[in-house]
A and B are shown apart, each in its own frame.
Chain A
Amino acid sequence: MNKSLKTGRLTFAPGLALGALLLALPTAATAEVSDADFNALKETVQRLSEQVQSLTQTNQLVRQQHEKDVQQLKDLQTKLAETQQTAADAEQAQAQPIPKVPMDEATVNHNFQILGDAEVQYVNSDHQNGSFALADFAPVFLYRGGENILFEAGFDATLANNAPNSPGYNTTFNLSFAQLDYVMNDYMTLCAGELLLPLGTYAERNAGWLNKFPDDPLAVDALLPESGVGAELRGAVPFGDSGKFLNYSAFVVNGPGSADGTGNAGSLDLGGNVGIRSDGAVANLHNAPAGGGRLGVFLPFSPRYDLELGISGEVSEWDNAGSHLWAAGVLDAALHLGPNFEAKWQYMLTRYGSDDLGLIRQQGWYAQVSYKLAGLNLELPGVNNLELVGRYDNLSNAYDSANGVFSGTRRYSVGAIYYLTSALLLEADYEFINSNDSAQPSTQLILQISYGF
């Protein structure tokens, strides 16, 4: 705007000068005007005229520019109004409820899962015909009911031939465990239900595809209960940030029972006493719970180089009269030296009193080693999928209730595992058995295909 006014003044000034000159002319007309003066005046007038014309053009350009500026200003005002409207609309939309969108799956508050394993086994013992001994399907159902609650149950459906001189086959369907887990805090979890008992580590880590042998160690099967009905507190306390920790388990369960209610040695039933009698009454057969626990330490030296040690035990009455105790003590160890070598050891000792045979002491242990040939870095087909395994186990002074005698057994097992995938295994195991139990074969070949899912 100021520029326009300034231009106007410039246009007006030469006009004023020209007017003043014309006013002066009448007085000058009376005087003599030389040609030189006239020409000079003429040039001046022409120059002023040209200046006026130039300024007029400049003024027109300035006016045009001004009109453009005004138009641009109007456009900007229009755009500002539109932007303000858009912002107002967005603010209004934000105030309205957010429409529901699918949740990220990782944040869902519950989840149902099925894990488990399946095995098919072929057994050929000396002096017997080889046969497919069993087909086993063992699903584990998991239901997570929040951040800290888990229900888990494992079943075991097994198909096996009937006893000699019996027709057909039988199918068993057992509840291996069924427990509710509540993670109370970082150091304590409450478990309740039918619990896998932490007597050593074998009971909790012996699913078919986890075990490197197709059968269980003798003493584990003969001396220790695998599960019990009750409640347990367990947890782990790390020390340092290098992965070391202590873990503990303390449980109270119904404990073993008597198969016939007596206190005779052959009546001990490690898997019995679930609280409901055959007559329908709910009762602990000997009216006292069993107590036990495990204390373990895990010491990693570096990833995949570690040592785990544990001590565990359980004490319980077992006969209905409550006059005899059954007690078990277990030591366990596991060593990993790199991703390919593993060694495990477990010692088991039990004592129980009886009416007919007094105190019965039984014990046994097993040690096993395994090595994955992938550690040799051989460029041979199939070798990298192979793992060699060896085991020694024994059972001393085991009471055979069927025959009323004590027996001892030593067993040497060698075998191999071929990993078709990380979860599909072919296992072959050859066993040399030395026993005074006539029911035991002296050698045995077991082949198994295992799948973990």
Chain B
Amino acid sequence: MTAFKSFPARGRTIIGALFIGGLAACLCAAEPQAGASAPTHSVAASASATNAVPPAVKAQLTGAELYSIHCNRCHPERYPTERTAAQWKTIMLHMQVRANLPVKQSRLILQYLQENSGR
């Protein structure tokens, strides 16, 4: 068998850095504001929109729908009342990173959980 030779280490490091840097630059250019906090749609607003259009052309998923889509992919759903609003805020940040969810969808889920939380 032949040995599995590597590229020069420095070359790989440079290529990796360029890849990550380029990706970061593209994404920063696409969304310059950092850490915007207000969701673009409220759950209530989305719910009313849901009633106004047929499901096939629904404009925006609600927080409750996103919650049932994403959480159930890995574990049985937990009741929103199991945690307080502040606890959900921390847990959703953890889940957003762990499941690599879009931030806007994560905010809608958090809004749903907080509105129905134990306190």
Contacts and interface: CB of A to CB of B under 8 A. Distances in A.
Interface string B26-56: 0110111111110000000000000000010
Nearest to B40: A241
A400 B43 CA distance: 54
Contacts of A360: 1
A92 interface: no
Contacts of B74: 205, 210
Given A238-B105, A325-B6, A247 B13 contact: no
A288 B13 CA distance: 8
Contacts of A242: 58, 61
B81 interface: no
Interface string B84-104: 111101110110111111111
Contacts of B5: 323-325, 353
Contact of A422 (B4, B69, B76, B103): B76
Contacts of A423: 76, 78
Contacts of A353: 2-5
A106 B103 contact: no
A452 B75 contact: yes
A21 interface: no
Given A187-B31, A303-B65, A423-B76, A233 B23 contact: yes
Binding site secondary structure of chain A: strand
A241 B9 contact: no
Contact of B2 (A233, A245, A334, A358): A358
A236 B60 CA distance: 17
A274 interface: no
A359 B76 contact: no
A269 interface: no
A236 B100 contact: yes
A234 interface: yes
B73 A336 contact: yes
B6 A317 contact: yes
B34 A422 contact: no
B3 A323 contact: yes
For chain B, which range describes its interface: under 10, 10 to 19, 20 to 34, or 35 or more residues? Answer: 35 or more
Contacts of A351: 4
Contacts of B94: 113, 115, 140, 142, 150, 152
Interface in A312-340: 315, 317, 322-325, 327, 334, 336, 339
A429 interface: no
Interface stretch (A23-31, A119-127, A248-256, A388-396): A248-256
Tell me which of A189, A191, A209, A303 has the highest count of chain B C-beta atoms within 10 A of its own C-beta.
A303
Contacts of A150: 90, 93-94, 97
A323 B20 contact: no
A147 B33 CA distance: 14
Contacts of B90: 111-113, 142-144, 150
Nearest to B100: A247
A216 interface: no
A17 to B, nearest CB: 83
A111 B85 CA distance: 11
A69 interface: no
A186 B104 contact: yes
Given A106-B85, A150-B97, A187-B103, A303 B75 contact: no
B16 A323 contact: no
A91 interface: no
A142 B86 CA distance: 13
Interface in A403-447: 419, 422-423
A317 B9 contact: yes
B108 to A, nearest CB: 10
A249 B100 contact: yes
* Top-9 shortest CB links A-B: A358-B1, A353-B4, A288-B9, A106-B85, A422-B76, A247-B100, A291-B16, A144-B90, A111-B90
23 contacts: A105-B84, A105-B119, A106-B114, A111-B87, A144-B93, A150-B93, A183-B103, A185-B32, A186-B31, A189-B96, A204-B98, A250-B19, A291-B12, A303-B65, A322-B6, A323-B6, A324-B3, A325-B6, A327-B4, A339-B68, A351-B4, A359-B1, A422-B78
Given A150-B94, A352-B4, 17 more contacts: A105-B119, A113-B90, A142-B93, A143-B90, A181-B93, A184-B35, A185-B31, A185-B103, A187-B31, A189-B96, A205-B74, A242-B61, A289-B13, A322-B9, A323-B3, A422-B77, A422-B79
Interface of B: 1-6, 9, 12-13, 16, 19-20, 23-24, 27-28, 30-37, 55, 58-61, 65-66, 68-69, 72-79, 84-87, 89-91, 93-94, 96-105, 114, 117, 119
